[in-house]
Structures are given as structure tokens and as C-alpha cells.
Chain A
Amino acid sequence: MSQSKTSSIMDARILIPAIGDAFRKLNPRTLARNPVMFVVAVVSALTTVLLIRDLIIGQGNIGFSFQIVIWLWFTVLFANFAEAVAEGRGKAQAESLRRTRTETQAKLLKGDDTKNYKVVPGTSLKVGDVVLVEAGDIIPSDGEVIEGVASVNEAAITGESAPVIRESGGDRSAVTGGTQVLSDWIRVRITAAAGSTFIDRMIALVEGAERQKTPNEIALNILLAGMTLIFVLATATIPSFATYAGGYIPVLILVALFVTLIPTTIGALLSAIGIAGMDRLVRFNVLAMSGRAVEAAGDVDTLLLDKTGTITLGNRQATEFKPVRGVTEQELADAAQLASLADETPEGRSIVVLAKEKYGIRARDMGSLHAHFVPFTAQSRMSGVDFDSSSIRKGAVDAVLQHVNKAALTGSGSAAAVTVHEPLAAREIQAIADDIAKAGGTPLAVVKDGRLLGVVHLKDIVKGGIRERFAELRRMGIRTVMITGDNPMTAAAIAAEAGVDDFLAQATPENKLNLIREEQAKGKLVAMCGDGTNDAPALAQADVGVAMNTGTVAAREAGNMVDLDSDPTKLIEIVEIGKQLLMTRGALTTFSIANDVAKYFAIIPAMFLAFYPQLGALNIMGLETPESAILSAIIFNALIIVALIPLSLKGVKYRPVGAGALLSRNLLIYGLGGIIVPFIGIKLIDVVITTLGLA
């Protein structure tokens, strides 16, 4: 994972260009995307004109007006700055991606001949072309391996320098343009034309060029626009109230009141929050194809998790030797260890380890035993070892029993003894195997010279801490469903051990898809991850489909997120990031609206002081002068945007407690805090500007 690339929020390399961008974003067309800030810019322009008029005819309190106008513009600039900082972080990432997208040459193949190629520029490739990529070559564009196996360095996109294997057929057939083949050669069918490759899309995504407002953001924008209109009414009606009272209120002060009342804080930070949410995923090496997907992640009700690799460690481990009657555990362990010495599979190694740990059986030198290793094949479904006159086999119980029967029939080995002894032993083995399966394990029978010795209990090891994670998810209101190819009995046992809410055993692509549809019919949002082509329909159906980067092109196209690290556990983090994004928006909206209370108390008494001095009683903050009160409010309003940039980029911390607890906590901080903080802030600013003699 490349989180080491993470730059701190206050990185000068991002902040300095962002200042320039803040001014560039004053372009009305850019501003118009954000209704609240657009309105602020319009009224700032208006007050600037009024200020110039006052300067020319030399009337009014120029110093005061000047400061108000400046701070109004600062409000707009700070908003632009927040967005620029958020974008800057993505841009840095895009820059490093762009460097990998150098001009490549491609070896375009004609026909089926693997040697007959023509070198063409990578950009001229069309979808469906077949190219040859050999060791040292850069893969010219996205494609699918149709022949060969190669190790590929994908550091360009994953930041992980260890090479990965890419081979034709199966679930590891997708290759990405811009990555480098390190060894061997592959024939690749191009699946993306120049300009629309995976890296191109990544660049566009992290740069935010393709950023579209998410449904939630649109709804929030409507709310903010509505609030702005309400406050237009509240302030635009004040002049006639003043006229009625025989007074007059300068436009500048009305503008100041208006800008402080409308939800500028959230308006300014809204797009930064959205960009930062995508960016957080990118830092997590997850690419979301749309902001909508990130938002949906927060809403997920059901998580479908593959058992292997997510809930359990990828490999089963031997935990126990269970001999049949008449055989000692030591004997069984000894035979099993011998059979596994040359077995390099994780299961085999775990048998050797267990034999040593539990029975002190040391590794023996295969050579000195004149042993000959018999590897596992799909036909025999057994592996083992032959030495001298002896042979040991271990494997799936039914395969081993079949092997024993066959041996008995052909009369090899000490057949006489076997036929008498074995039916009993076979029944016993079957019984032990059933017990193990019931407990969620995999039984592995061991036979030596036609004599059944017993069973090795291979167990799925549930990942440490995963149970707690599921408990957390449950508190978040998310149901977890384990997907496994195991039989229902085994699945139930592992499900119970891991603490998932439900499981789907003997999963097929069809019943996976059906499960998702059923959940969705109940109104639930479903997230899943997958890598194979047969996962593609389910990935497409799921509301959040995370495709593994190692997966097939079909899977990557079907999902709405791609995990560059191909780590299915990340689904949980993705959900948290989605929630964080929504929470940050809600928290800042609440804060922004709650702020208005204090601003009223600052500006209203100051505004009407000339003709209703009695309203001075509302000046509960004891602000020095009407000018300093108004100035303090507008300065606070601008500065709070800057102060909240780090929070909007980092996101409000998500805690896996129930919604009620989360809400009361956030309401306390952002609701009540939002009411109190500006009272303190405005008072402090008032003290400072009075001391400095600014108003």
C-alpha cells in the first residue's frame, strides 16, 4: 500500500499553487457551479462598485467600507482556496501517474504468428489489436492476456514494487497500460484505445476533471440555495423597515449581514469535502469511478465478503492429528509429516510445522530416505511420498478411500491384512471426517501402504480481530454475509466463528447475483468485491462493487471501484470513508447554520443603533462599536472557512457506535458548538480590531 505517499495537509507544495488557483477560480463560470459562493461574489462585486463610487465622491467611512469589501472578497477567495487545496492533493497524484504514461512502442502482431510483428506507436492501437509484450517492454495499453505468463511490475499504479503474475485465462488476465513486463512474454488483446485507458481514467479521476455532483451534494446545494433565498428575504426587507422607523441602512451593511447569514461555511467547503473524500480513497489505493459510488458506500446495508482472504487467512492449516483405533497420534503424525516434507503448499507446510511443534518430529532429509515425492494432481486429488517399499498418501477423504479400495482389489501391498481391517477403519475415518467438516474444518485422510492411519484436521484460520470488526459493523447497522464455496455445514461453522450475520454456502455466480437482488428488493444497498469474470454480473448489480486490480477486465469494467492492492478486507474501510464523507457534510452544514445565531446578535444591534438605540441591549457580546461588530462578524465568517479546511479535508472522525450515539455526539460538537463558537470568536476578533484601531 502506498500510503507513505500521503502528504500532510499543510504541505507547501500544495498550498502555494492553491493560492494562485484561488484567484483563477474567480472566473464567473467556475463560480457559478457553487450557488452560495456565486452569490457572495456578486454582492462583493456590488459593494466594490459602491466603494469606488464613495471614493470618487468622497463620502462615507471609506476605511471601514474598504475593510468590509476586502473581507467579502476574502470569503470568496478562501472558498476557492479550500477547493484548490483539495484538488491540489489529487493533482500531485495525477502528476506522478502522468509520468508513467510515456510514449510507448507496441509490437503489433499480424495473425497468429507470435513472431511476426510490426512496431507501431502505442497511441495508434485500436481495440481488438493483438500485441506482443516481451521482457522489458512497457505494456502499451489496457488489455487482456490471451497467451503466455509474465511477471509484471505494476508499481506505476499500485505503488507496490513487488511484481505480479499475469497469465492468460483465469482471473489474472487483465494488464494495464503503462506497466512493465519484467520476465517472459505475453500476447495481449487491447481492450482500451489511447486516451481511455485505465491510467487515463485514473488521472482524470484524481484530478477531479470528471467530478460531477453526487445526488447528495445536489440535494444539499438545493437546501443551501433555499437558505440563501430565505436570507435574501430577511435582509432585503430591512431597508423598508428602516425607512418606516425613519432611518437608513447603508447597502454595505445589509450585504455584510446577508453574507454572514447565508451558509457560506458549508457552501465554501462543500466541493472540497467531496474531492477530499475521493482523495482519501485514492490514498487508500482504491479508485472510485464516481463520487456517487463513494456516497453509496456510506449507505451500504449489506456487505458480501468472500470467505477466503477476507474472513479467513488464505490457507488452511493443520491443527490436529486424529488417528483411527489401533494407531497412535505419533504414528499418524510421523506418516503425515513424511508425506508432506516435499509438499510446498501452505497446507503441507503447516502439517510439518504441527508435527514438529506437537510431537517433536524433526524434518528428515528426503534424499537419504531415497524418497520420491508424488505431487498433487487434479485426477488423484492426493499427494504423498514413495520410498523403499513403502508409500504414503494424503488427500481428500473420498479420494483416499477410493485409493485404498483400488489397492485392495489389485492385491498390491499386504492385501490380506487390509481387507480384514479396512472396512471398519474406513467407517471410522468417515465418522472423523464428518466431525471435522461439521466444525468447519477440512479433513485430510492419511494412508500408509494401504492401511488407513487417520485424518489430519485442516482448519480455516479466521483472521485475528475480524470478529471485532464484524461487531463494529453490526453496531453501524451493517449486515455481513460470508460468501463461500464450502458446503453449508463447514460454512456455518466458520460463519459462527467469525461472527458474520449470515452466509451463502456453495456460492455460484447465479446465487450470488440472486442474493444481491433479494437484498436490494428489501430496499437495502449491497457492497461486494470480486475479481473473476464470473463475478462481473454481481459486481455490476451491487450498489458498491469493488473490483480487485488483479482481476479480469470484465470484473474491472463491472465494478464502480477498483482496489489497486486487491485486498478484499478494504471493503470495510471503503464503507467508513463513505460514511465519513456524508458525516463531514452534515457536520459542517449544521455548524454553518448554527453560527447564524451569534451573527444576528452581532449585527442587528449595530445595524439599527442609529435609530433604535434601545436595541443595544441585544449586544450581549459587548462589542465595542457598531463598525467593529459588523467587521468582526464578517471577519469571523471568512476566517472560519480557512479554519475548517483541515477538517473538511481530513473528514469528521467516524466511530463505529450506533447512529444515536454518533448523532448526539456530533450534534453536541457541531450543533451546540456551532452556536457557541462564533460568540467567542466574534468577541475575540472585536477585541483585536479595536486594539489595532481598525474600527
Chain B
Amino acid sequence: MTINGWIQILLFCGIVTLLVKPLGGYMTRVFNGERTLLSWIFGPVERGLYAVAGTSEREEQHWTTYAAALLFFNLAGFLLLYFLQRLQGGLPFNPAGMPAVPPELAFNTAASFMTNTNWQNYGGESTMSYLVQMAGLTVQNFVSAATGIAIAVALIRGFSRASTKSIGNFWVDLTRTTLYVLLPLCVVLTLVYVYRGMPQTLGAYVEATTLEGATQTIAVGPVASQVAIKMLGTNGGGFFNVNAAHPFENPDAISNLIQMVSIFAIGAALTNVFGRMVGNQRQGWAIFATMGVLFLAGAAVCYWAEAAGNPLVHALGLEGGNMEGKEARFGIALSALFAAVTTAASCGAVNAMHDSFTALGGLIPLINMELGEIIIGGVGAGFYGVLMFVVLAIFVAGLMVGRTPEYLGKKIEAKEVKMAVLAILCLPLAMLGFTAIATVLPDAVASTANPGPHGFSEILYAYTSAAANNGSAFGGLTGNTTWYNLTLGIAMLMGRFLVIIPALAMAGSLVGKKSVPASAGTFPTDGVLFVGLLGGVILIVGGLTFFPALAVGPIVEHFAMLLGQTF
């Protein structure tokens, strides 16, 4: 590890922290329907959209209506994306003449982009037409992110409102998030990325003649705009197959830093939105601090493991850290940091091959995802995910102050506990369940690139990434098979909707409760104690579930490596 490496990590953390408050303040105004700087542009657009949709910003929804609207919207998006892929051969904006995408792959991709996972069982430049990329994938990049944020806001309203029935209006939340938050930030980011050297064109791939005289086709396209939303909306689906390791998708250290910051920006700011909406910003900071501690711990272990490298390689006289599978432009610190960021935040963009990380270095991305993508997490998804753990932590330990557990004045009772448990339960079900089946199916095992624990990690990582809606690939695993296309797709749908429904149900239950004023007997949830408690519950409940699986994957691989054996 180097001082330089640490400075870069801390610089990143500093920028994210500084953004929390201003962005949180702006987003709060947006969700509360207050006037913002951009109202004069988007106000008429917004009202026009409501008129077309037959709704109004004053119309509020019960949680079931909210959930129904959300599911309908997502189903429509899924079908659109599926048929765009299946029919792309006959549709315009297909200069490279891509044929129709096969059904299982189209299902997998549609599920993947609709759920904000952006797992890619295809290479973008060799499978998808510009039309699919723009009208299908990029649209879903926006709306899947907006969907996640809308749910988080609805759940926050569960805490901030009292004795009422409605948790907001899905169409309004969706529209506002897209128009006021995602769109303007993406425009700015796109311009910055173009300035850093990313292509942004609808023209055909470039033919180049190399020095040896061979002809090379260089893939280009509307890269900058897609990268902007891919990072900001924690989607992670790369324009190119190698994602953010591609020089066109991540030209230099500055673009790398901006990309990492934009992955965390909205998720981190949501903690502040929460604090503001419940009337005590410290509440938001406490959750942010918990996330921060868990993130830094993960990043530090990952960086340490990668910087320490492989003793077997050292024995051959090659000193230094593990550079296998890393871009020399970014080096160890930024690759480790990027891996921690992208898996903590459910983004899934990668700038290095996680498959080539050391066992412990690869363990961190796995754990980050297995905890449920709640360390900052996917936009919105991370926040409502962490609130599930908050409810659990409050319930377990809150009793220890001798009162029925309360969080922000709302009593945590059977209904809330049930919903939190359901939401938390679905992840091990999808991650461990599918891994357990896949590891005994010869065909599924055959897709792995390595034997032994490492191959196991590849399978575990795939399902973990899918169910956590992360979308990053460990690599090594050939995912484009019927089995993986279908099961990974199902895992993504489980990991998304089996959390969303309980979260909205919880919002519905909370919003109807009276708000109990805080007293000296109330469990304090804005201090160091709470940060420790929440972190502990996340690690113990989230971590212990996966301990056996991790033990026979990266952990045994690590000990084997120390004993001189690699896979």
C-alpha cells in the first residue's frame, strides 16, 4: 500500500461526503415538490407528462396503488426491452447490422436492465444495435434508477408522515427523479466525459489500418451519455464489453474519479434527504456513517490484499502487488477502490477483472453484495435496503432500553419486523439457493473457467451479483447459456421485487402510525452507539448467513494460497 494510494481513496471519500448535503438538500426540495432552479424548464414538461398520464401531483396513493403502478411500469419496460432486442434486426439505428438477440439472452438482459442490475451476458459492441442501446438499455438505465429512488422516498415518507394513508404518487416521484435529478446531472457528466475524451457519436464503427497494415474495426457510439447514467444510476452496464477498463469508457484518472463519485453521489445524498424529511439531519448522517465505516473497512482490506499480492508470485522473484487483470492506467489502489465502490453501490461497472483479484481481494466485493447492497447501495435500493436492517437492529436491541422499539417516533411492531425479515430473507434464498443448485449441475459447473474453490466463487459471485442487482461479473464464468440466462434473470427479479414489495408494505404500515415524541427514554438513533449497533447487526445477520459459502470459496482459497496452492 502506498501513501499515494491512500490519498486517492481518502480524496474520493472526501468528495462524496462534501456532496451529501448540497445534493441532499436539492433532492429533498424536488421530492417535496418545492420550486428549484430547474423548475422553469421542467415545470411545464412535468405538468404535461402528468396530463398525458392522467394523474396530478396532488393525487396521492395508498401503498398498494403505488406498488401496482410501479409493477405495471416495470413490466411494460421489461416487455419493451425484450421485444426491441428480439426485433432489432428489422429496426433502424443498426449500422452494424446486428441480428435478433436470442430469447434467453433477451430475457436475461431485459430483466437485468429493468431491475437496475445490468448484468451483461453479451458484449455490447457485438450484440446490441444503437437503437437497443439508446431506446432500450439507456431508457431503462434512467427509469430503473428512478424507480429505486422513488421507493426510497416512499419509504422515507413512511417515517416522516404520521397517521395518514398515502405514501406519495409513483408517477410523480418517477417523473421528478428523472427530470430534476438524473437528467440534468447526466447532461453535465456527459459533457465532462466528452471533454475527457469519450466518444459520443451515432456514426458507424471506425475502420483503421494498423501499422502492420491490418484492418481494425474500432467500436464507437454514444458512449459518454450512456456512461453518465450507467454510473449515476448505479446501473453499471458497460457500452463496451470490458466496461470501465476500456479507454473509451474510462479515459483517465480524472474520469475514473468522477465515475466513482457519481456512483456514490445519489445513494449517499439520499441519507441526507432522509434526515431532512424526518426533520433531523443527524439521523441521516448516522446511517451515512455506518455505511462509511463498512465501506472503508472493505476498501482497506481489498486494497491491502491486492497490494500484498500473491506470495507464490513473490517466490518467483516478482515483487509487488497483484497486477493481474488490472489496467496499468489505474493501478492497484484505484482498482481496489473501484471494486469496493462498484460492489458496495450495486453499480457493477468494473475497471479491473475481479476474477483476477486475490482471494481476499475478491472476497470483499462478494461480501459487499451479500450484505444486500446497502453500503450506499444502488440508488434508492441501497437506502430502502439499509432501512430494513435498521428496523431489524432497532427491534433486536431497542428492546434493551425497556420500551417497544421505536424508530423516529414510529413503533416497530410485528408488521414491520415481518416485512424486514421477508426483504432480508430473499437475498440468501436467491444467492445461496441458485448457487447450491448450480454447483451440482455438471453443465453449470462446466461454465466455470477455473476448478476448485475459485470456480465455486465464480458461480457464487454470479448469483450474488444478480440477486443483489449489482451486475458486475467476477469474470471467468461463461454466463451466456440457457441455464445461466434464465436463473440469473430470475435471481435478479427476486432480488429486486421481493425487497421492493415488503419495503412499500412497510411504508404503508408506518405511514398510518402515530408519531411518538422522543423522550429521554427513547432509543437514540443519531449517535455513535447506533452506528456501532447497525454495523454490527448488518455484519452478523448479513455476514453469518454467507459464512459457510464464503468459507468454501474465497476463504479456503486464501488459506490454500498461503499453503502454496492456487486454482
Contacts and interface: CB of A to CB of B under 8 A. Distances in A.
A222 B439 contact: no
Contacts of B417: 219-220, 222-223, 226
A299 B413 CA distance: 13
Contact of A477 (B520, B532, B548): B520
A477 B404 contact: no
A615 interface: yes
B456 A663 contact: no
B403 interface: yes
Contact of A243 (B399, B414, B439): B439
Contacts of A32: none
B516 A523 contact: yes
B544 A261 contact: yes
Interface string A243-277: 11100000000000100010000000000000000
B400 A658 contact: no
B425 interface: yes
Interface in A330-389: none
B92 interface: no
Interface in A195-234: 215-216, 218-220, 222-223, 225-227, 229-231, 233-234
Contacts of B402: 298, 476, 578-580, 582-583, 654, 662
A304 B180 CA distance: 51
A640 interface: no
B424 interface: yes
B415 to A, nearest CB: 8
Nearest to A478: B521
A523 B547 contact: no
A614 interface: yes
Interface string B421-438: 110110011001101110
Contacts of A652: 400
A240 to B, nearest CB: 4
A667 B422 CA distance: 26
Given A523-B516, A586-B397, A659-B520, A234 B545 contact: yes
Of listed A261, A474, A477, A594, residue having the most chain B CB within 10 A: A477
Contact of B527 (A235, A587, A660): A660
Contacts, number: 222
B551 A582 contact: no
A590 B537 CA distance: 9
Nearest to A660: B524
B552 interface: yes
Nearest to A655: B402
Contact of B403 (A219, A299, A664): A299
B453 interface: yes
B551 A615 contact: yes
Interface string B494-518: 0000000000000000000011110
A245 B552 contact: yes
A476 B521 contact: yes
B520 A667 contact: no
B522 A659 contact: yes
Most buried by B among A298, A477, A659: A659
From DSSP, what is the main secondary structure of chain A's interface residues?
helix
Contacts of B396: 223, 586, 589-590, 593
B428 to A, nearest CB: 4
A600 B452 contact: no
Interface in A602-627: 604, 608, 612, 614-615, 617-618
A46 interface: no
B560 A245 contact: no
B519 A478 contact: yes
Contacts of B540: 593-594, 596-597
A215 B547 contact: no
Interface string A279-309: 0000000000000000100110100000000
Given A243-B439, A583-B401, A477 B421 contact: no
A596 B544 contact: yes
Contacts of A229: 421, 425
A23 interface: no
Contacts of B401: 583, 586, 659, 662-663, 666
Given A597-B540, A660-B524, A667-B529, A216 B404 contact: yes
Given A223-B421, A600-B544, A666 B559 contact: no
A614 B559 contact: yes
A110 interface: no
A295 B399 CA distance: 11
Interface centre among B418, B432, B453, B560 (most CB of A within 10 A): B432
Given A524-B517, A593-B396, A582 B559 contact: no
Contacts of A671: 397, 533, 536
Interface string A35-72: 00000000000000000000000000000000000000
A55 B544 CA distance: 34
B563 interface: yes
Given A244-B440, A614-B560, A586 B551 contact: no
B392 interface: yes
Contacts of B432: 233-234, 237
A222 B418 contact: yes
Contacts of B548: 234-235, 237-238, 241, 257, 600, 604
Contact of B524 (A244, A596, A663): A663
Contacts of A478: 519, 521
Query: B392, B421, B552, B556: which has the most chain A beta carbons within 10 Å?
Result: B552
Contact of B544 (A222, A234, A585, A654): A234
B546 interface: yes
Range of interface residues on A (Cβ < 8 Å): 35 or more
Contacts of A580: 402
A612 B552 contact: yes
A13 interface: no
Contacts of B515: 523
A301 B516 contact: yes
A664 B432 CA distance: 35
B552 A241 contact: yes
B535 to A, nearest CB: 12
Nearest to B456: A244
Interface in B415-472: 416-418, 421-422, 424-425, 428-429, 432-433, 435-437, 439-440, 445, 452-453, 456
B188 interface: no
A230 B515 CA distance: 32
B520 A241 contact: no
Contacts of A658: 520-521
A617 to B, nearest CB: 5
Given A240-B439, A614-B563, A667-B529, A223 B392 contact: yes
B541 interface: yes
A225 B417 CA distance: 11
Contacts of B453: 245, 612
Contact of B541 (A298, A593, A604, A612): A593
A522 interface: yes
A235 B422 CA distance: 18
Contacts of A654: 402
A135 interface: no
Interface of A: 215-216, 218-220, 222-223, 225-227, 229-231, 233-245, 257, 261, 295, 298-299, 301, 474-479, 522-524, 578-580, 582-583, 585-587, 589-590, 593-594, 596-597, 600, 604, 608, 612, 614-615, 617-618, 652, 654, 658-660, 662-664, 666-667, 670-671
18 contacts: A230-B424, A234-B548, A238-B548, A241-B549, A242-B552, A243-B440, A244-B445, A245-B456, A261-B544, A301-B519, A476-B520, A476-B521, A479-B519, A587-B399, A593-B541, A597-B544, A615-B556, A667-B400
- Closest CB pairs A-B (n = 6): A477-B521, A586-B399, A579-B402, A226-B421, A477-B519, A237-B436
Given A219-B416, A229-B425, A579-B402, 16 more contacts: A215-B404, A230-B424, A237-B435, A238-B548, A239-B436, A241-B552, A244-B552, A245-B456, A245-B552, A523-B515, A586-B401, A589-B396, A596-B540, A604-B547, A618-B551, A667-B533
